[in-house]
Amino acid sequence: MAAYLIAARTGWIFKTESVIIPAVLDAVSGAGWVRGLLPLINRLGHSLPPLLIARRLEQSPRKKWVLMSTSWLMVGCFLLWGALFSPWAAAVVPWKAAIFLAIYTVFFACVGVNSLAMNTLQGKLIPPTVRGRLMYVSSILGAISAIGCVLWLMPGWLRSDTPRFDWLFLFPGALFASAAIMVSCFHENPDRPANASQKHNCFVAAYQSLRDDQNFRKLAFVGLAAGSSILLFPHYQNLGLQHMRLDLSQLVWWVVVQNVGTGIFSIPMGAIADRGGNRLVLQIFLLGLAAAPAAAIAISLFAPSHWYALVFLLIGLTPIVIRTVQNFALEICRAQDHPRYLSTLNLCMAAPMVFAPLVGWCVDLFGFVAVYASVTAIIISGWCVTFTLIEPRKMDYPFVGDVDLL
């Protein structure tokens, strides 16, 4: 599982949502509201498809086949992107933005189901007290691999005169193909067949999960607050490139710094999560997540431009915080309910994204300061709610340790 995560992490760095993807889209359409569609599509893909597929995943004897099939579909999307930006695609230049976003929509629908399957497999196969170890091992080794590939390959692909966006997608496609092959090595015992005779409405089930579990309801708000940080992802690079007049080559260093941040922060996070619980991790790292937009504004107004890379170091906390929220959810429900809780949580984290195009429009209209300050306030409100969460390991939750040890 760590090998799969490392290969996927290395591939993902070439389409980083806060740097590469919005820069590619700006190259074919510079409008703020178009750039604002990226987090909306991203989080909808992470939420609605998993919610619709959660029941079927619960009933599936082996979850790894869902993970493998979605991984191969993601490979297909990378190949389509590579073809779209190849030198032979000049005939579709007027439609590049629309075609890019269409593929992006399919890709993140696959990513959402893929993430649900992977998280469910972790809940099934990995004990709660070592999930933090899995995260920091895969994050550290993945960061080393990803940064090495970026420093080796990306500078030649991001020349200001003739950027080669096609290779930015074809290379990670090959890495995701290797990750898909690794899934066949997972040792997963089949689950007992679930009762499929009951009528099931995924949206009703999500509502019931929130209604009946107060602790999960609070956790969902924390996830919503943390997820709101993604609203700003497409605009960080725009602030640096367009408003601070930095060169396109800076994208390489921002990607590197962001992944260094994820790797560095994963080390204490994993140890804290395994020993002190996930609530403590959220209480510490949500503050760092809230500091990212504040740092972006402060540096753009008052500090030398080379300090702007610090913003991407803090953005590296985002996957750690989201992963921690998901791990918390795994501990407060039964193993058979993991897909339902995770998909409901993903839906809540996606809720702010309906405002993503509006956020892009507001950035163009009012500037960065007001928008970034508003998102910072939302993240801080989620941090406050973490102090009311019940830590399952300290309250003898009946589901902690509910794992299929092979």
Express each pLDDT in 294-342 by its tens digit.
Answer: 999 999 888 888 889 899 999 989 988 998 998 899 888 887 788 888 8
Query: What pLDDT does 52 receive?
Result: 83
Query: What pLDDT does 161 receive?
Result: 66
Model confidence pTM above 0.85: no
DSSP letter string, 272-298? HHHHH-HHHHHHHHHHHHHHHHHHHHH
Tell me whether residue 117 is in a domain: yes
Phi, psi of 399 (to 5 degrees): -100, -10
Tell me whether residue 195 is in a domain: no
Tell me whether residue 192 is in a domain: no
pLDDT single digits (tens) 343-363: 889 889 888 888 888 888 888
Report the CATH number that the domain containing residue 100 is assigned in CATH.
1.20.1250.20
Q: Rg (Cα) of the chain, in Å, rounded? A: 20
Domain count, the chain: 1
Contacts of 55 (CB under 8 A, 6+ apart): 200, 202, 205, 339, 340
Tokens of 377: 């306030």
Please count the CA atoms within 13 angstroms of the CA of 45 that sit on its side-chain side: 22
Measured between alpha carbons, how far apart are the two ends of the chain, in Å?
14
Tell me whether residue 406 is in a domain: no
DSSP letter string, 5-33? HHHHHHHHGGG-TTTHHHHHHHHH---HH
Helices H, strands E: what count in the chain?
18, 0
Question: Domain span at residue 227?
Answer: 2-186+202-394
pLDDT < 70 positions in the chain: 30-32, 89-94, 160-161, 193-200, 394-406
Tokens of 25: 């889209």
Tell me whether residue 28 is in a domain: yes
Query: What pLDDT does 242 receive?
Result: 74
Which residues in 247-269 are b (16+ Cβ under 10 Å) and which e? eeebbbbbbbbbbbbbbbbbeeb
> Angle at the Cα of 340 (from 128 to 387), degrees rounded to 5?
55
Query: What pLDDT does 379 receive?
Result: 96
Tell me whether residue 405 is in a domain: no
Query: What pLDDT does 378 receive?
Result: 95
Tell me whether residue 152 is in a domain: yes
Which candidate, 319, 344, 50, places its Cα nearest to that of 216? 344
Query: What pLDDT does 401 receive?
Result: 46
Tell me whether residue 316 is in a domain: yes
d(CA 285, CA 314): 10
